[in-house]
């Protein structure tokens, strides 16, 4: 057990990120406090982070292209919610707020069945 220096809660070691330089090998603040600090930092200066990303994208157009391609492929392969929602919204009058979890799950099942039937036809 270890006490977080920020929230003062006593937590298990798994609730702290690793840090080799520390005597016990763990950060002094817990994962929740680190996450909260980073979210606040991002919210306070969103433009700074966006500018950094935009600058990287301009310097690395090929890497950006590969990254986007890889993300899309991962979404298609895993049928994650973001991919399914984009399929449901594209070419329709639906908006993201209209999509219920049940509708997303029904679309996922439909896609899985279509994939399995294509696979069987190939055999």
What is the domain partition of the chain in residue ranges? 2-44, 79-123
Contact assessment for residue 104 and residue 88, using Cβ atoms and an 8 Å cutoff: yes
pLDDT tens-digit map of 4-26: 999 999 999 999 999 999 999 99
**Count of Cβ atoms closer than 10 Å to residue 107 Cβ:** 18
Whether 36 shows a pLDDT value over 80: the answer reads yes
Tell me what pLDDT residue 64 has: 93
Closest by CA to 28, choosing from 53, 54, 2, is: 2
Tell me what pLDDT residue 92 has: 87
pLDDT tens-digit map of 38-62: 999 999 999 999 999 999 999 999 9
Tell me what pLDDT residue 56 has: 94
| Cβ neighbours for 37, distance < 8 A, ≥ 6 positions apart | 6, 29
Structural element, H or E, at residue 51:
helix 46-59
pLDDT tens-digit map of 61-96: 999 999 988 888 887 788 888 889 999 998 888 898
Whether 123 shows a pLDDT value over 80: the answer reads no
Q: Following DSSP, what letter does each residue of 56-120 receive, concatenated?
A: HHHH-HHHHHHHHHHHHHHHHHHT-HHHHHHHHHTTSS--GGG--HHHHHHHHHHHHHHHHHHHH
For residue 31, name the pLDDT band (cuts at 50, 70, 90): very high
Record the pTM: 0.51
Q: Would you give the distance in Å from CA 47 to the centre of its chain?
A: 20
């Amino acid at each position: 057990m270890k006490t977080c220096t920020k929230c003062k809660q006593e937590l298990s070691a798994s609730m702290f990120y690793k840090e080799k330089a520390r005597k016990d090998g763990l950060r002094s603040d817990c994962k929740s406090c680190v996450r909260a600090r980073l979210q606040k930092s991002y919210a306070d200066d969103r433009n700074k982070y966006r500018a950094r990303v935009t600058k990287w994208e301009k310097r690395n157009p090929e890497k950006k292209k590969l990254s986007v391609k890889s993300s899309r492929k991962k979404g298609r392969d895993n049928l994650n919610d973001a991919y399914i929602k984009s399929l449901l919204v594209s070419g329709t009058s639906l908006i993201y707020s209209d999509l219920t979890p049940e509708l997303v799950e029904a679309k996922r099942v439909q896609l899985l069945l279509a994939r399995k039937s294509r696979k069987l036809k190939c055999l």
